Structure 1
Amino acid sequence: MEREKFASRLGFLLISAGCAIGIGNVWRFPYITGVYGGAIFVLIYLLFLLILGLPIIAMEFSVGRASRKSVALSFNVLQPKGTKWHVYRWFGMAGNYLLMMFYTTVAGWMLAYFVKIARGEFEGKTPDQVGAIFGNFTAQTWEQIAWMIVIVLLGFGVCSLGLQKGVEKITKLMMCSLFIIMIVLAVRAVTLPGAIEGLKFYLVPDVSKMIENGVANTIFAAMGQAFFTLSLGIGAMAIFGSYIGKERSLMGESISITLLDTSVALIAGLIIFPSCAAYGINPGEGPGLVFVTLPNVFNNMMGGRLWGSLFFVFMTFAALSTVIAVFENIISFAIDLTGCSRKKAVAVNLVAIILLSLPCVLGFTVLSGFHPLGGSSNILDLEDFIVSNNLLPLGSLVYLLFCTSRYGWGWKNFITECNQGKGVKFPQWARFYVSYILPIIVLLIFVQGYISKFFVK
């Protein structure tokens, strides 16, 4: 069966960027940027994006394009005879399913909040009342399940239309809208009275903040953010490599996608810090920032209902672009492994993902007493930990070794595939770095993930 292809290069770039651009760009990046000293952290982060993210994304794309398969079969196609690299496919596929087991719930929250703000549910509420709305919402089992199912239906609905007519066409529209909405929101935020303090906090390097939090901690935080932002290691990117032609080099395409991903994170900071500074609100971490802090900001803002609605449309698009991209990957596993039709793959996985997503929702309600990682952790934290702290770093290590080791696909095959076509080439001189130094850095990130989770309080 002939492999489907993207209709345009723009489609490939926006969909790959959509997979990388997720909720973490918006609520995690601005927060840790503030904690670790603003602009100085951003500079360290950009450096790590260059030396960490770029080589691995180019490798994932190369494996996808050379094999013309998803992670379900790509290693089988490219591995030397008698080797067992294909065993990793089960972990790669598991990573995609696990990611969607909690991502669909959080994406459902975004959509629910868009409706709540658009209907004016937050108007006239005190900060405590706004916080209580989020607490009450996450305590409702059936309401959360309903929103999660809406997200799953939307995602698979788009995928069922096919690669070009569904995934490419709709993601293009969503991503273009996302950038326009972000720029409009950023312009509004930086023109608020008092926004200048937020801009200073975000854009002026503050070495004392970095020293206060520890130079090593700052470097690790930047390294971790640069690594996780691109969702590397579970074949989520490799699938898009399998859908493109050989006209352009993959390093050049990787640079474009990394720039798109980073620009979203940077513009998110331009929305959040000036807005919080203008209203004297501390940009808190994680869900609290998006679901408690920002609704209070919009409440105080002239035309806040409109700005709040726009913000949650943007957040829903950021979440949905990732959902659609990973669903496309999941559908391709079924097609690659069984040869079934796209429609059948959609039908089976739609039911599977809804069932698999239930534990995450129940972790906030009937199973809220279950703390798998100790403390106040819940099922979402456990699923996120398995993906982010285990499958992403270890999977990236597999791709690195597969593309550089003579016992794998090997450097020569990788560099030939990656550099085919016009555009920026993967440098030959980087061979020693990606073969010996980068794997050690990725292992360090893996170990540091465990240290910070279980040993540093």
Structure 2
Amino acid sequence: MERESFSSRLGFILISAGCAIGLGNVWRFPFITGLYGGASFVLIYLCFLLLLGLPIMVAEFAVGRASVRSAAKSFDVLEPAGTKWHLYKYGAIAGNVLLMMFYTTVSGWMLYYFYKMAVGGFVGLDAKGVGNVFGSLLSDPVTMAGNMIIIVLSCFGVCYLGVKAGVERITKNMMACLLLLMLILAVNSITLPNSAAGLKYYLYPDFNRVLEHGIREVVFAAMGQAFFTLSLGIGALAIFGSYIGKEQRLTGE
């Protein structure tokens, strides 16, 4: 059977971004940026993106495109005889499985919250009341497992439709919704009281906070965020790279 490919470059970019954009970028990044000195932390983070993140990302794309295989088989195809590069696949498979376990659980929470909002379960509750709802969810493994199973079955359904009709088409729509939601949240945030002070705390360079927490801690936080931002190290980008045509420049992607 002929292997499917993405119908457009935009589809490939949005799917790759969808793999990377998650809690680490939407919630954790602003938090640690404010904590570690605002723009001074962002500068260190951008250096790691360019010096470490970009080369490793291109390398993963290259492995995927050269092998035209998943992370489980790519090095079996590419490794020179007698070398042990194929052992990488065990870490990649374990990393992707753990990541799937995490995100299917969190997606199950979101599905439950969507249901609670639809039936008015949060009406009249303050922040503590909403927190209690989450606490009761965590103490109910049956409800959590049920929501997670729905998410897993939905994802299997998307994959069953194929690359173009399933993964690409649905991801395009969901990423458009995500970007619109983030734009709405950003506009709402800057209209809140004392937003100017918040933006200054978040973006103003403050190297005293870098020294306060220690350069080593800040550097490791920036490095970890750079790897998390691009979903590096677990073979996820190699999977997408296996769908990149030979006529396309990897750095351009």
TM-score per shorter chain, which class? over 0.9
Question: Which sections of structure 2, spanning at least 5 residues, go unmatched?
Answer: none
Q: What secondary structure does 1:86 align onto?
A: helix
The offset of 1:80, in angstroms, is 1.3
Matched-pair contact (CA < 8 Å) for 1:3–1:68: no
Rounded to whole Å, the distance in 2 between the matches of 1:94 and 1:126 is 40
Question: What residue number does 2:61 align with?
Answer: 61
Q: What secondary structure does 1:12 align onto?
A: helix
The offset of 1:124, in angstroms, is 2.5
Question: What residue number does 1:7 align with?
Answer: 7
**2:90 is aligned with 1:101:** no
Question: What residue number does 2:49 align with?
Answer: 49
Deviations 1:338-391 (A, max 9, x none): xxxxxxxxxxxxxxxxxxxxxxxxxxxxxxxxxxxxxxxxxxxxxxxxxxxxxx
Deviations 1:261-306 (A, max 9, x none): xxxxxxxxxxxxxxxxxxxxxxxxxxxxxxxxxxxxxxxxxxxxxx
Question: What residue number does 2:161 align with?
Answer: 161
Rounded to whole Å, the distance in 2 between the matches of 1:70 and 1:166 is 18
**2:210 is aligned with 1:225:** no
Rounded to whole Å, the distance in 2 between the matches of 1:27 and 1:132 is 21
TM-score between the two structures when normalised by the length of structure 2: 0.94
Matched-pair contact (CA < 8 Å) for 1:40–1:205: yes
Q: What secondary structure does 1:98 align onto?
A: helix
Rounded to whole Å, the distance in 1 between the matches of 2:241 and 2:192 is 42
Deviations 1:116-159 (A, max 9, x none): 23443333323332222211111111111111112111211111
Q: Structure 2 matches for 1:81-230, cutoff 5 A? A: 81-230=81-230
Give the partner amino acid of 1:56: I
The offset of 1:105, in angstroms, is 0.6
The offset of 1:11, in angstroms, is 0.7
Matched-pair contact (CA < 8 Å) for 1:68–1:243: yes
Matched-pair contact (CA < 8 Å) for 1:61–1:241: yes
TM-score between the two structures when normalised by the length of structure 1: 0.53
Give the partner amino acid of 2:45: Y
Deviations 1:70-89 (A, max 9, x none): 11211121111232322322
Matched-pair contact (CA < 8 Å) for 1:95–1:234: yes
**2:208 is aligned with 1:235:** no
Rounded to whole Å, the distance in 1 between the matches of 2:119 and 2:41 is 38
Q: What secondary structure does 2:80 align onto?
A: coil
Question: Which sections of structure 1, spanning at least 5 residues, go unmatched?
Answer: 254-457
Give the partner amino acid of 2:64: G
Question: What residue number does 1:262 align with?
Answer: none
Rounded to whole Å, the distance in 2 between the matches of 1:7 and 1:89 is 28
Give the partner amino acid of 1:88: Y
Give the partner amino acid of 1:108: G
Go from structure 1 to structure 2 and tell me whether the alpha carbon gap of 1:92 and 1:6 turns closer, same or farther (over 3 Å shift): same
Matched-pair contact (CA < 8 Å) for 2:34–2:203: no
Rounded to whole Å, the distance in 1 between the matches of 2:114 and 2:30 is 21
Question: What residue number does 1:34 align with?
Answer: 34
Matched-pair contact (CA < 8 Å) for 1:3–1:243: no
Matched-pair contact (CA < 8 Å) for 1:71–1:238: yes
Give the partner amino acid of 1:172: K
Q: What secondary structure does 2:252 align onto?
A: helix
Rounded to whole Å, the distance in 1 between the matches of 2:147 and 2:96 is 20
Give the partner amino acid of 1:174: M
Deviates more, 1:158-167 or 1:179-188: 179-188
Q: For the aligned residues, what is the CA RMSD?
A: 1.6
Rounded to whole Å, the distance in 1 between the matches of 2:91 and 2:206 is 41
Deviations 1:190-249 (A, max 9, x none): 122321111111111122222221222112211111122222122111111111212221
Matched-pair contact (CA < 8 Å) for 1:39–1:206: yes
Rounded to whole Å, the distance in 2 between the matches of 1:185 and 1:228 is 22
The offset of 1:251, in angstroms, is 1.3
Question: What residue number does 1:73 align with?
Answer: 73
Rounded to whole Å, the distance in 1 between the matches of 2:41 and 2:217 is 11
How many residue pairs were aligned?
253
Give the partner amino acid of 1:76: D
Q: What secondary structure does 1:252 align onto?
A: coil
The offset of 1:115, in angstroms, is 2.8
Go from structure 1 to structure 2 and tell me whether the alpha carbon gap of 1:68 and 1:187 turns closer, same or farther (over 3 Å shift): same
Matched-pair contact (CA < 8 Å) for 1:64–1:241: yes
The offset of 1:189, in angstroms, is 1.6
Say which structure, 1 or 2, has more relative contact order (CA 8 Å, 6+ apart): 2
The offset of 1:183, in angstroms, is 0.9
Q: Structure 2 matches for 1:380-395, cutoff 5 A? A: none
Go from structure 1 to structure 2 and tell me whether the alpha carbon gap of 1:177 and 1:128 turns closer, same or farther (over 3 Å shift): closer
Question: What residue number does 2:16 align with?
Answer: 16
